[in-house]
Structure formats: structure tokens, C-alpha cells
Amino acid sequence: MKKVCVMGLGYIGLPTAAVLADNGFFVHGVDINEYAVKKIQKGEVHIYEPNLAQKVKQVVMDGLLKASTTPTYADVFIISVPTPFKENHEPDLSFVEAATKSIAPYIEPGNVVILESTSPVGTTEKIAGWISDTRKDIDMLDQNVYIAHCPERVLPGKILEELISNDRIVGGINQESTQKAAQFYGGFVKGEIHRTNARTAEMSKLAENSFRDVNIAFANELSIICDELQIDVWELIQLANRHPRVDILQPGPGVGGHCIAVDPWFIINSVPKQSRLIQEARKVNDSKPEYVIEKVKEATKNITNPKIACLGLSFKANIDDLRESPAVNIVKNLASKNKKVYVAEPHIEELPVELRNENITLSKTDEAIKNSDIVVLLVDHDYFKAIDSKYLQDKIVIDTKGVLARVKTEILQTI
């Protein structure tokens, strides 16, 4: 199992390809995005992840990682393409299906096909079906084509480290597939490899992210309750978490990114009647940005031509990723209500297209605060923890991440 074909060179596929190449595999990476492929062919990257650029440069230079828009023959095929949902929250498996159909002509007896994309229960079995449909010449069981799911579980910002150190769950469509795929991961993963079947592996990933979503929803609900009862939610959670068996996550302006806010829907969509708590958690987290907007509206009601400083745009702390960020939606909404918004986001150089209008200005943090009547903290970047309290004198502060509480304690609404 020396030659690996990685389908999809995004936030998971490219680091996976680079780590495999760095561990002695010959890797052929495939993406439909020609710009990404051209960059990688030159030893460059099209996405940001700490230390990824150096690693890609090195393995491309060593001839261990090649990139192309078409697959090739390999011992192991890894599918790491997006699995978004459609308008009605139904999973969109079109990328998985297209990737499977494009590798099908290259599959030979003895090959291993692994789905890493987070997927609804039953997807790995569907992959087996799509391959059988296209390759009538191969009897999958008799000729040993091994098909398994091994969900990626890495945290953006720590991907290279976690690809090696995290435990992995491997579940095949049969026991031979599980063994073969587990053997492959044993070749480079330092964490434990846990063997199960494909459906359990699929569900375990969905359960992990839903668990986090439900816990964050609990924190967000507590923040709204505490706001009503005039209790500082940050102090409350810190105290409650001193109990040895309590571990409440942190509230915020909503849940963003492309995993936690998406994956629970794969469970809800397949078993809507049985997933009441998971659905309610999604609703709580999805409605939090609206709550923040209402708080700002209330705070600005007696100010003519209010000016608002919004601190942070990314979907979580210390990254530049704005995808599905609640902060972006909050800023967009505030500016559309004809308020002047100064945005401070130290990790970006220009505003995303959807925020480019005359009411929104990308500013330095101190300038944004100086120009405004209200300061709304939306992301807990380390950078904001150093804000000098003198800038916050005479400002109304709405702090959705409990960062400025250490700086200024009066006129503070922590929600």
C-alpha cells in the first residue's frame, strides 16, 4: 500500500496528502479546482493552515506529492471532498458520488477505497454500489476491493499535528475492508486505530460534532438566561465547571464553520422524529446571531446615527477562516439597518465581497473603537485580549465571548 490517490485537495485532503508523502507514500492528489492544482504542482498552497506551506513545498520538491485534475492507478484511494447540505438541509452527496465515479475506472482487485468526508449513515455502502454499477467486470467481494470509512477528526489550526496524533475510527463494509484500511492508517498514525463497521464509523463522527453542538447550545441558552437574570455567564460557567463531572463549553455569537453547524443535520435528516434534542440545539445556536443583533438594536435606540465597532469576523478565534461565520452575518445585518459599522479583523486584509458597501469599513482595532459609540466583540482572538481599557471609556460594550470583561466591568453586557 505505497501509492495513494487523494481525491479533493481542500482543508483536509491537502494536509492528508502532505502528511502521507512525508511518511514515505507516493501521493497523487486530485482536485477539480485547476487553480489549486497548479499551485500545488509548483509546491505552493491555496489555503492557510499552520506549517502546511513548508510541508507541501518539501514533499513536492522531493517528488512524493503530485497534483492533477484526474485520478490515476493507486493502492489506496482516499475521498476527502465536501459534503455540504442543500437548502432544505438534505445532505448533498454529489461530490462524493462524482469522486467515486471518477476513480472507478482505475480500481483494481486488492485496492482500498476510503471515505474520509463526514457523511450520513449509509454513504460508504453507497460508494460500494456506485463502484459496482460502473465496474461490472469486478466482483467486489470475490476480487477483494476493500471499502471503508475513516472520518477525519482534525481541528482547523492544528491539522498537521492531529492527523498523526488523533485516534482514528475505521469501519469497513465488511471485516476484510476494516482490517485493510486499519492497516493503512497504522502506517502513519500514532493515535490508536479503533475498528468497527462503516455505519458506526459514520455515526461516530456525526455524534462527536452533534455532542459539541448540543453542549454549545446549552452554553448559549445559559447566556440568554443569565442576561435576563443579570448574572455574568462567564463567571457562572467557570464556577459550574469546577464540579469534577461538569464541562460546559463557551457561549458565543452563534456556531460557525462547516462542520459543527452542518453535521447534526445529517442525523436529523435521516431520523427526524428521533432526533429532537439535536434539532433543538441547532435552532438555539442558529438563533443566537439574531439575539446579538437585537441587543445591539436595543443599545442603539436612543443614539442618532449610531456608529458600531465590530471586533472579529472569523468563525472562531485566531484563524482567518470566514466561512459560515456568525460574525459576518451579524455585521451584514447591522450595516443593512443603515448603521455605520467599523470592522476590526486583524487576520484579513480586505473585507469579503458580501460586506463591501458604504456602511462598512475595515479598520484597525483602536480606530474602530475610537470611531464608535458601541463596541460589539464577536470573536475571542488573542489580539483583542490586549485591548487597553482607556479605549473603552464612555463606550457601550456588548461582549459575546467574555473577553473584554477583564478590561472593563461597567456598562458591560456579556451575552
Active site residues: 205, 259
Which residue's CB is nearer to ligand SAJ, number 146 or number 383?
A: 383
Q: Coil, strand, or helix at residue 137?
A: coil
Stretch that binds ligand SAJ, among 88-96, 226-234, 255-263, 303-311 (CB under 6 A): 255-263
Which of 7, 154, 267, 293 forms a contact with ligand SAJ (CB under 6 A)?
A: 154
Closest to ligand SAJ by CB, 27 or 260: 260
**Spatial separation of the C-alpha atoms in residues 287 and 293, rounded to whole Å:** 10
414 grid coordinates: 456579556
Is 264 a residue that touches ligand SAJ (CB under 6 A)? no
Q: How many CB atoms lie within 10 A of CB 277?
A: 12
Beta bridge partners of 65: 27
What character string, x for contact with ligand SAJ (CB under 6 A) and - otherwise, covers 5-44?
Answer: ----------------------------------------
Beta carbon of residue 128, minimum distance to ligand SAJ (angstroms, whole number): 23
Question: Binding residue for ligand SAJ (CB under 6 A) from 249, 348, 362, 405?
Answer: 249
Q: Return the number of other C-beta atoms located less than 10 Å from residue 320's C-beta.
A: 12
Which of the ranges 140-148, 256-264, 359-367, 390-398 carries the binding residues for ligand SAJ, by CB under 6 A?
A: 256-264
Residue with the three cell numbers 473585507:
351
Which residue, 174 or 204, has its beta carbon nearer to ligand SAJ? 204
- Does residue number 381 form part of the binding site for ligand SAJ (CB under 6 A)? no
Contact between 259 and ligand SAJ by CB under 6 A: the answer reads yes
CB 131 within 8 A of CB 79: no
Of 147 and 159, CB closest to ligand SAJ: 159
Beta carbons of 252 and 234 less than 8 angstroms apart: no
| All three cell numbers of 221 | 441558552
Q: State in angstroms the smallest separation of the CB of 220 from ligand SAJ.
A: 7
Task: Find where cell 479598520 sits.
Answer: 363
265 binds ligand SAJ, rule: CB under 6 A: no
Question: By CB under 6 A, what part of segment 107-146 binds ligand SAJ?
Answer: 118
Q: Is 316 in the site for ligand SAJ (CB under 6 A)?
A: yes
Residue 205: partners with Cβ closer than 8 Å, 6 or more residues away = 118, 151, 153, 169, 263
Contact flag: residue 156 with ligand SAJ (CB under 6 A): yes
Pairing type for strands 76-79 and 112-115 reads parallel
Minimum Å distance from CB 302 to ligand SAJ? 30
Q: How far is the CB of 383 from ligand SAJ (least distance, A)?
A: 15
344 bridge partner residues: 311
Cα 80 to chain centroid, rounded: 14
DSSP 69-103: SS----SEEEE-----B-TTS-B--HHHHHHHHHH
Q: Does 209 bind ligand SAJ (CB under 6 A)?
A: yes
Query: Which is it for strands 146-149 and 168-172: parallel, antiparallel or unpaired?
Result: antiparallel
Residues that bind ligand SAJ (CB under 6 A): 118, 152-156, 208-209, 212, 216, 249-250, 252, 255-257, 259-260, 315-316
